[in-house]
A and B are shown apart, each in its own frame.
Chain A
Amino acid sequence: MTQVNSGIPSAASNGLCSCHVCRLVSRRSRFSRREHCPRCGATLHFRKPRSIERCWALVIASYILYIPANLLVMMETGSLINYRKDTIVSGVVHLWKTGSWMIAVIVFIASVAIPVLKLFSLTFLLISVQRRSTWRPRQRTRLFRLLEAVGRWSMLDIYVVTLLAALVQLGSLAVVKAGPAAVAFGAVVILTMFATMQFDPRLIWDPLQKEEIHD
């Protein structure tokens, strides 16, 4: 790979814009309102519009929903022998105690570790970008890449609840019900995925070349 202009290396500062659909680089005026990609017709943006504001809104909403997701009941299990109401964490603990420690670890990572790390990491990225920090941009970009990759795995518990609740409906013998936390937790997963999609990692690099680029 050869760098084109080592002085001002970013596409945007050269008046060039990369299409978010087909990646074609085309010249675009920095002042014109709306321009479209000559190849695929998608609207061109130098940066994702209102990236920081939208991402903050979604992150804050996720923090709020994260509280009921953890305090309320995720799954109710009833049979002739026992009756349990499990939150996410008590479900993991129960799995661990009944000897399925491998599954307990998998569920813990997907339902507890990933959402928490995602929210904290997004908050950290947002604050660092807003302060126009130049600290370790490569590592921060890598963190963002990681968030994109692992986000979906938090849906694990939702699938488990769905399968169990649909399957175990054997009248008086046994019953499994999805609790209200499932909805809150599902919302957290989806909102954090949208938040990650709204975040523009190119904003991490703009302060390095003393640039402020919008839209």
Chain B
Amino acid sequence: MADRPAQLIACHECDLLQRDIPLNPGCTASCRRCGAVLYRNATDSINRTLAYTLAAGILFVVANSFPIFSIEVSGDRSAITLFGAVRALWEQGVRTISVMVFITAILVPCLELFSLTALLLPLKLGLVPPKYTLFMRTLQFIEPWGMVEVFMLGVLVSLVKLTNNFRVIPGFALYSFGLLTLLIAAAAASFSARDIWNRLDEMMRQEGA
């Protein structure tokens, strides 16, 4: 194992070595050479992220259980849920696309919310989260692949395209997805991996002493 000089931070975009200094609440430290964001002092990061995550978890279930919208043509009505769309595409033989949509719009957001809860809930209760490195790595690995907000825009574009030819009836899940998008963005904005690692370091030190 490598040894560990304290209070140093390396910019992840240009590798400039800098000192890690405490920030005022709400402030951001950026790299003096390339301008990348090094870390933020997000106010009350753990509590807020946990609150947003739990709310988003509930909405995620709601958004996936109800139809997003339905169309009506001469008495025939056709409604759609997100998972229903994934399954329909699979059955039509367009499996690659079906899998892509499943991963980016269902699986990754689900994993993201689950990992956040598994980390933050024990921390909130003053416990060391089991398998925390696994969850931290999962979060980092899946981060670029969660696309709920892109999906939301896709829903809106589809709505406009359909209104030319059909009568479109918005469903309950449409509003849930809109709100879910906002909550996931709020959770991402208040999340601070640095705060979690600092809290974990502190807990380990107390356990060691």
Residues of chain A at the chain B interface (Cβ within 8 Å):
1-5, 9-12, 14, 16-18, 20-28, 35-42, 44, 79, 95, 98, 100, 103, 106-107, 110, 137-138, 141-142, 144-145, 148, 151-153, 155-171, 173-174, 177-178, 182-183, 186-187, 190, 193, 197, 201-202, 204-206
Contact = CB atoms under 8 A, between A and B. Distances in A.
A168 to B, nearest CB: 7
Contact of A141 (B1, B14, B68): B14
B33 interface: yes
Contacts of B35: 138, 141-142
Given A100-B160, A160-B158, A183-B96, A155 B14 contact: no
Interface in B67-109: 68-71, 73-74, 76, 78, 80, 84-86, 88-89, 92, 94, 96-98, 100-101, 104-105
Contacts of A156: 150, 153-154, 157
Interface stretch (B5-13, B43-51, B53-61): B5-13
A41 B133 contact: yes
Which of B10, B89, B153 has the most chain A CB within a 10 Å cutoff? B10
A152 B34 contact: no
A145 B17 contact: no
B17 A100 contact: no
Contacts of B89: 162, 165-166, 178
Contact of A170 (B2, B78, B85): B78
B4 A27 contact: yes
A4 B104 contact: no
A190 B84 contact: no
A24 B76 contact: no
Given A160-B161, A162-B154, A201-B14, 9 more contacts: A10-B17, A18-B9, A21-B137, A21-B140, A27-B3, A40-B197, A42-B133, A138-B34, A141-B13
Contact of B161 (A11, A100, A152): A100
A106 B155 CA distance: 13
A75 to B, nearest CB: 10
A33 B97 CA distance: 40
B127 interface: no
B202 interface: no
Interface of B: 1-5, 8-10, 12-19, 21, 29, 31-36, 38, 68-71, 73-74, 76, 78, 80, 84-86, 88-89, 92, 94, 96-98, 100-101, 104-105, 133, 136-137, 140, 144-145, 147, 150-151, 153-155, 157-158, 160-162, 164-166, 193-194, 197, 201
A35 B3 CA distance: 11
Contacts of A190: 100
Nearest to A47: B15
A183 B94 contact: yes
B5 A159 contact: no
B147 to A, nearest CB: 5
Given A155-B147, A183-B94, A186-B96, A10 B8 contact: no
B149 to A, nearest CB: 8
Contact of B14 (A39, A177, A178, A205): A205
B84 A166 contact: yes
29 contacts: A2-B18, A9-B33, A10-B17, A12-B15, A14-B17, A18-B12, A20-B12, A22-B136, A27-B4, A100-B160, A106-B157, A138-B33, A152-B145, A153-B153, A158-B154, A159-B105, A159-B155, A160-B161, A162-B89, A167-B162, A174-B73, A174-B166, A178-B89, A183-B94, A186-B96, A186-B97, A190-B100, A201-B13, A202-B13
B170 to A, nearest CB: 13
B82 to A, nearest CB: 9
